[in-house]
A and B are shown apart, each in its own frame.
Chain A
Amino acid sequence: MAGRSDATGESAATGRVDALVESAGGRLDDLAAYFRERPRLRTLAVAGPPYATLVLFFAVPLLAMLVVSFQTGSIGGPWTLSNYAEFLGSEIYLTVVWRTLLVSLQVTAIVSIVGYALAYSIVRFSRRTTLLLLLVILPFWTSYIIRMYAWINILQSDGVLDSTLNAVGLPALGLLYSGPAVLIGFTYVWLPLAVLPFYASLTNMDPDLIEASKDLGAGPVRTFASVTLPTTINGVVTGVVLVFIPTFGSFITPRLLGGTNNIMIGMVIENQFKSAFNWPFGAAIGMVISVVVVALLVLGTRLGGGLFDTGGGEA
């Protein structure tokens, strides 16, 4: 009797679940039909949330920074152009921008060469690609500051590097607090950002093109210049931009590793916000730098023939 009762109860419960599923399915069908009849609303529903996110967390803060950059002394002060005039009219600040540009170009060049070679060797010569990529990405799992302190320990006098050199009878380099230390720190930090797009574009490349180039008599250098690089140029440009932009705005690496002669514009901006309390001037510098970076981004896009085109370029 009890079993029959249970069976009856189970059947009723199953029926209710079926009815609920059918009801929910019907509502989804109605909703789908509703959107199907209204293509503009459908587009809004799909594209709205990401656009809203961009507006809320990118456009609005940028606009706020733009507004603040035209104010005097403090937020809410009188309107002025003096922040821009002071920055663009000062040889000191422009010198810092120029130095930042040079460092960023150096870092980008080094990271691109090392990163491309690394990605190429992973794609062409290794079977353990997943493991190698994991090793490349691994540093991202550690705090930026901690990685910089690790480099301090490696590069400082009597640090890991100099101790090792001394142990094998070579002179110590004493690299910490120098330009090379900054380049090393940046290269280490940004390498994964470059390797991933390089790797993606090299993976998409048809290896038969290389064989064809060799069959036609081209040597390794010519094959690389005429086939491999043009075919992967979009990935290269993406990697270059991903490295150049954050380097241009960096302030922690040059501050911790750079010593007395490696000021970068990010450090000046940080100082305006954290120490000088001159947020409008810091915002003005930030806006100018943003314009410079966007200009370089556009230039990169032109050079790359479509920065965000994920396919390979034409050989």
Chain B
Amino acid sequence: MREFDDGRPTVNRRRFVQGATAAGITAAAGCLGGGGSGSDRAPMDVEEWPPEDLESNLNMWNWYDSWADWAIDAFGDEFDVQVSNTGFSSPDQWYSQLEADNSEIDNVAATTNWVERSIENDYLHELPVDVMPNWENISDRIKEASSFQQDGSVYAVPEALVLYPLTYNDEYFDEAPGSWGVLWDDEHEGDLCMWDNATVSCQIAAMYTGQDPIQPDDFDEIQEVLVQQKPLLQTYWGDYQQGMSLFVNEDVVAGPLTMGRTYSARFQEGAPVHYTAPDEGAMYTSDLFVIPKGSPNPMASLQFTNWASETENAAKLFETMGYQPAVDISDELSEEDAEFTNWPDDWNLVFSETLSDEVRSRYDEIWTAVKAA
């Protein structure tokens, strides 16, 4: 090191530039969240249950907020793991983190089509379901419904079934409406709503017009009926809370809402609402637990995934959120809850398969045109 005559180190141009560059790179790395790419341990390495040496932390992204609040304490206490949850309103929030090379998220409650996208892009760990004791609790109906198993590999464990039914005010209607046509009935003008969601609304219109909601053959008809419907509506709701509030405040008497929000409106808010699957059919999908690659705590995440499929923990999910758990919880339910969660065998339920790019694009165009009409 060259020194001044009095012994203090000098600052030459090269040293300054080197220092500034190093500081800049360090700062940029900090800003960009660079760092570890998660644990090297993979869930498929687990050959016997329970997995050894759980990590001390678990960072989950679960949008069943109330259940997650309960699970943080229940799972954390049982396994001595510090659990945190990041709620989200839209799956793209966690998906973009996976795209950016995840190093933080251990466990996600992901909707089926986002799971499929994640599998296609190799973002998820394969899961050793054969050694997970609670895998057998998952009902066969759900195992078969979702496309989370590819080429003999399983990438997710189902959490719940999510039905998109017709929700209605059961004081206004003498009996459950039998057709989506109720949303096109002039008699209820101003008391109806639709979901501000291109796929859901276009699929309802497809079913109403007798078409296959996954692969419709007459897009013009779908657009035409949605434009016809528009004057009858009070609003398109875009936020789940807003949708539920419309029914709780009795601003509307019928419209699409999720089963879980209908449950909350009925049992937590005291609203006179119920749901049904009209004769034309109703769509449903599933939410699933996945462990993203780059997870810093994969063993804790795996243990959590198994723990959540225990019957009493799944029952808690239904009690707090109102969605149909992936586990048979019939023995745990009150008579009232059992009646609410019962889906008659004659209901025509259509699994919400991932749409082709063409259909999704057309649905999106239609929905924009309808709202701009």
Which of these, B4, B230, B251, B360, contacts A260 with CB under 8 Å?
B230
CA distance A268 to B364 in the complex (A): 9
Knowing A56-B31, A152-B242, A276-B361 touch, does A23 contact B372 (C-beta < 8 A)? no
Whether A152 contacts B372 by the Cβ 8 Å rule is: no
Knowing A156-B251, A260-B371, A271-B368 touch, does A276 contact B238 (C-beta < 8 A)? no
Whether B242 contacts A260 by the Cβ 8 Å rule is: no
Q: A residues within 8 A CB of B57?
A: none
Which of these, B10, B198, B235, contacts A276 with CB under 8 Å?
B198
Whether A177 contacts B235 by the Cβ 8 Å rule is: yes
CB of B330, distance to nearest CB on chain A (Å): 34
For residues 24 through 51 of chain A, which have their beta carbon under 8 Å from a beta carbon of chain B? 26-27, 30-31, 34, 38, 41
The answer to the question of B233 belonging to the interface, with a C-beta cut-off of 8 Å to chain A, is yes
Whether A278 contacts B372 by the Cβ 8 Å rule is: no
Q: Name the residue of chain A whose CB is nearest to the CB of B7.
A: A23
CA distance A52 to B28 in the complex (A): 10
Q: B residues within 8 A CB of A26?
A: 6, 8
The answer to the question of A220 belonging to the interface, with a C-beta cut-off of 8 Å to chain B, is no
Which of these, A23, A93, A156, contacts B368 with CB under 8 Å?
A93
The main secondary structure of chain A at its interface with chain B is helix
Which of these, B11, B197, B199, contacts A34 with CB under 8 Å?
B11
Knowing A92-B372, A96-B372, A278-B361 touch, does A273 contact B92 (C-beta < 8 A)? yes
Residue-wise interface mask of B (174-194) relative to A, using a CB-CB cutoff of 8 A (1 in contact, 0 not): 000000000000000000000
Interface size of B by Cβ–Cβ distance < 8 Å? 39
Knowing A177-B235, A256-B239 touch, does A263 contact B90 (C-beta < 8 A)? no
Knowing A157-B251, A256-B238 touch, does A275 contact B31 (C-beta < 8 A)? no
Q: A residues within 8 A CB of B149?
A: none
CB of A48, distance to nearest CB on chain B (Å): 8
Whether B199 contacts A30 by the Cβ 8 Å rule is: no
The main secondary structure of chain B at its interface with chain A is helix
Q: A residues within 8 A CB of B48?
A: none
User: Most chain-B Cβ atoms within 10 A of its Cβ — which of A38, A149, A177?
Assistant: A177
Q: A residues within 8 A CB of B234?
A: 177, 259
CB of A148, distance to nearest CB on chain B (Å): 9
For residues 1 through 58 of chain B, which have their beta carbon under 8 Å from a beta carbon of chain A? 4, 6, 8, 10-11, 13, 16, 24, 28, 31
Q: B residues within 8 A CB of A99?
A: 372
The answer to the question of A73 belonging to the interface, with a C-beta cut-off of 8 Å to chain B, is yes
CB of A97, distance to nearest CB on chain B (Å): 10
Q: B residues within 8 A CB of A147?
A: none
Chain B interface (Cβ within 8 Å of chain A)? Answer: 4, 6, 8, 10-11, 13, 16, 24, 28, 31, 90, 92, 117, 196-199, 230, 233-236, 238-239, 241-242, 245, 249, 251, 357, 360-361, 364-365, 367-369, 371-372
Q: Please give 16 more A-B residue pairs, beta carbons under 8 A apart, in addition to A38-B13, A271-B367, A276-B198.
A: A30-B8, A34-B16, A41-B13, A92-B365, A95-B372, A99-B372, A158-B249, A256-B242, A259-B234, A259-B235, A260-B233, A260-B235, A263-B371, A273-B92, A274-B92, A277-B117
Chain A interface (Cβ within 8 Å of chain B)? Answer: 23, 26-27, 30-31, 34, 38, 41, 52, 56, 73, 92-93, 95-96, 99, 149, 152, 156-158, 177, 255-256, 258-261, 263, 267-268, 271-278
A sample of 27 inter-chain contacts (CB < 8 A) reads: A23-B8, A26-B6, A27-B8, A30-B11, A31-B11, A34-B11, A52-B24, A92-B365, A92-B368, A92-B369, A92-B372, A96-B368, A152-B242, A152-B245, A158-B249, A255-B239, A256-B239, A258-B235, A259-B234, A260-B236, A261-B230, A263-B371, A267-B371, A271-B367, A275-B364, A276-B198, A277-B360
